[in-house]
Amino acid sequence: MSPARQGATAADRVATTRSGRGHSGRGRSLAAAAVLLVILALLLAASVLIGSRPVPPDRIPGLLLGTADADLLTLVNEVRIPRTIAAALVGAALAWAGTLMQAMTRNPLAEPGILGVGSGAAFTVTIALSWFGVRSALGIAAASVLGAAVMTVVVLALGLRGSADGSRLILAGVAFSMTISGVQLGITLLDPRALDAMRGWSAGSLATPDPAVLWISLPLLAVGATIALLLRRPLDALSLGDDLARSLGSHPLRTRGGVAVAAALLVGAATAIAGPIGFVGLIVPHLVRPFTGPGTAQVLLVSTFVGAVLMLAADVVGRIALWPGELPVGVVTAAIGAPILLLLVRGRR
C-alpha cells in the first residue's frame, strides 16, 4: 500500500472515529456537561457558604444586596470568593494538564508531574527561599512558575533530542525530577528556615490565596489553554501512533513540545496559586473518558468541569473535616485521589 493510501486510510479511521463516536460521544459529553454544570453550581455555592465560619442561609439576601454585616461581607467577598475562583481554576488547569500528558504519552498513568514540572517548581521555590531569602507569596509564586518553565525546557531538550518518542520524554522527566528532588531535600535539610517555609507550601493549600498571584496566573493559564486547544487535533492524530500521525500531516515532535509547554504553563500557574496538588491531573481524565470517548476536545471540555468540581469538593471537605481548623486541600486530594484511582483500575479489569 502506498504511503498516500495509508494516510488516506488513517484519515478515514480518524474521520470514522470522529463521526461514529463523535455524535454519540458529543451527545454524551453535552449531557455530562449539563449534569456537571449543576454540580459545579452547587459546589460553587457551597464553597462560598461553607467553611470554618459558616454563612447562615438567612444572611444570603444581605450578602447579595451588600447590606450584610461588614465582617460577613469581608469573609465572603475577600476570602471565600477568591478561594472559590482559585479552586476552580487550579482544578481545571490540572485536569487539562493531565489530559494533555496522557494523550501525548499514550500512557494512562501520565500526569503533569511526570515531566518533573512540580519538582521543578518545588526546586526553584526552595532556592528562592534558601538562597535569595524570598519570603513574599508573590515571589514564591514567581519562583514556582519559573521552575516549572525551566524544568520543561530542560526535559524537552533532552527528552525530544533526535526523537519524538514519548517514552524518552517520560524517562527524562522522571530522571530530572528525582535528581532535583534529591538536591532540594538536601538544601532544605541544611537550611531549617527554608524547610519551615517549604512545609506550608508543599502541603498544597487554598486557604490564603493571594489575589496578586491569581491575577498573574490568569494570562499563563490562558496561554496554556490556548496552546492546548490548538493541539487537540494533532493529539488525536498522535493517538494513532507517530507514523500514522505523520501521514496525516501531524508533527509528533512539535506536538509533544507544544503539549509540554502548555502543561508547564497550566501546572506552573496552578502550583503558584495553590502549591503542589497531587492526583487531580491523573484521575480527572480517567473519570471523564468513559463519558466522552477519547477525543481530546471532548475530554478537555468535560475535564474543565470535573477538575473544578473535584478541587472545590476537596477544598470544602478540607474546611470542615477538622473544624474549627482546616485541612490543606492537597491532603484531601491525595486522600480521595488514591481510592478513586484504585477503583478505576479495579473497574478496568
Partner 1 sequence: MPIRRALRRLSLTLGALAASAALLAGCSAAAASTPDRTTDATSSAGFPVTLHNAYGDVTIASKPSRVAALGYADVALASALDANVVVAPQSFSALSGADSDPNLPYVDPLPEGTTWINPMNVNVELVAAARPDVILATAGFTLDQALYEQLSDIAPVVTYEKQLYAATSEDSARRVATALGESKAADELIDKADAAIADLRKELPNLDGGTFLYGQARDGVVVMLVEEANVTARFMHRLGLVALPAVAELGGAGSVPGAIDVSFEQARLFDDAGVLFMTYQSDALREAFEDNPIVAAQPIMESRYVPVGLETATALQDPNVVAVPWLLDRLRPGLELVPAS
CB 29 → partner 1: shortest distance, Å? 27
CB 240 → partner 1: shortest distance, Å? 26
Q: Compare residues 29 and 205 and give the one whose CB is closer to partner 1.
A: 205
Rounded distance, CA 244 to CA 234, Å?
11
CB 21 → partner 1: shortest distance, Å? 29
Q: Compare residues 1 and 70 and give the one whose CB is closer to partner 1.
A: 70
Q: Compare residues 9 and 136 and give the one whose CB is closer to partner 1.
A: 136
Q: Compare residues 114 and 248 and give the one whose CB is closer to partner 1.
A: 114
CB 174 → partner 1: shortest distance, Å? 7
Q: Compare residues 60 and 334 and give the one whose CB is closer to partner 1.
A: 334
CB 77 → partner 1: shortest distance, Å? 8
Q: Compare residues 162 and 325 and give the one whose CB is closer to partner 1.
A: 325
Query: Residues in the site for partner 1, rule: CB under 8 A?
Result: 51-53, 70-71, 74-75, 78-79, 109, 111, 113-114, 118, 135-137, 140, 174, 177-178, 181, 189, 191-193, 195-203, 205, 207-208, 276, 278-279, 282, 319, 322-326, 328, 330-331, 334, 337-338, 341
CB 172 → partner 1: shortest distance, Å? 13
